[in-house]
């Protein structure tokens, strides 16, 4: 039997045992007009069921133009409800049509795999039920941050964490490594927040001052969702951060404050020894 025939038979077997529903989770990027990939556009436009969670009305208009039947998941947020309950509701809303045999696409702001609990949970849930499910990459706010601020995270290393988790777990940062803290406007808030509450930022600053000098300059950053507007990057001493003009979508960037540790000579010697041993074996 020819290879093509064997592959066709194999696909027939797979399709016979695989449920007909499927799920594709995509990201709109930050600037949806320029960041939405061709793959994501096709997946969203051709889906039987298209759902989205984006805040930008331009993104909403574009997604609903791609798929006129598209509907928002925003209504699953309710005042005072926990974020986790809202997220679990989104997962259920996404998986229901998959289980009914539909081709489903769910679009989330930014990268669908970075800080998007429902995206990961829905893909895992669909796969656990035997459905085909995958995630397509998108451009995240972190990608924009590194580009806009001309920062290479590989130079020093980088720790990226939700500001609330960083503070609650009393994570000890390495001052020689770039630190990026997400969602600084809702520190300690367990529910859906209607407006920023900066009270937690004061506690965060006090904690950071255990590791960084008060005059160490940090950056409050927010990517621009529109190509005609510049990103926001406010440079300010750590002690003055709570007095700065901040917005709800800002990320805190704490540049390295100290030089990296010197290379360990014993590691260098070990690497050279292993290299010599490998060469002697060839």
Supply the residues annotated as catalytic.
83, 87, 109
Rounded CA-CA distance 224/77 in Å is 24
- φ and ψ of 154, to 5 deg: -75, -15
- φ and ψ of 140, to 5 deg: -100, 170
Given a contact cutoff of 8 angstroms between Cβ atoms, the answer to whether 104 and 22 are in contact is yes
Does the CA dihedral 159-162-163-165 come out positive or negative?
A: negative
Read off the DSSP letter of residue 29. B
Q: Is 108 exposed, middle or buried (0-12, 13-18, 19+ CB in 10 A)?
A: buried
State how far the alpha carbon of 258 is from the alpha carbons of 176, 213, 220, in Å.
5, 11, 20
């Amino acid at each position: 039997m020819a290879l093509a025939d064997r592959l066709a038979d194999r696909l027939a077997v797979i399709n016979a045992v695989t449920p007909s529903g499927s799920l594709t989770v995509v990201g709109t990027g930050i600037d949806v007009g320029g960041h939405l990939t061709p793959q994501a556009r096709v997946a969203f436009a051709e889906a039987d069921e298209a759902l989205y969670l984006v805040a930008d009305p331009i993104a909403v208009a574009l997604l609903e133009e791609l798929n006129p039947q598209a509907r928002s998941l925003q209504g699953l947020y309710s005042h005072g409800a926990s974020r986790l309950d809202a997220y679990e509701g989104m997962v259920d809303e996404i998986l229901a049509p998959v289980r009914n045999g539909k081709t489903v696409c769910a679009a989330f702001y930014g990268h669908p795999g970075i800080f998007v609990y429902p995206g990961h949970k829905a893909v895992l849930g669909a796969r656990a039920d035997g459905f085909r499910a995958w995630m397509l990459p998108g451009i995240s706010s972190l990608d924009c941050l590194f580009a806009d601020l001309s920062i290479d995270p590989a130079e020093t290393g980088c720790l990226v964490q939700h500001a609330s988790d960083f503070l609650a777990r009393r994570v000890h940062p390495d001052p020689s490594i770039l630190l990026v803290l997400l969602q600084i406007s809702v520190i300690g808030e367990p529910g859906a927040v209607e407006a920023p509450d900066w009270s937690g930022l004061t506690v965060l600053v006090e904690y950071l001052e255990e590791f960084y000098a008060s005059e160490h300059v940090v950056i409050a950053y927010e990517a621009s969702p529109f190509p005609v507007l510049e990103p926001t990057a406010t440079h300010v001493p750590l002690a003055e951060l709570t007095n700065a003009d901040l917005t709800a979508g800002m990320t805190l960037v704490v540049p390295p404050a100290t030089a990296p540790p010197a290379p360990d000579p014993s590691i260098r010697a070990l690497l050279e020894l292993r290299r010599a041993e490998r060469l002697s074996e060839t």
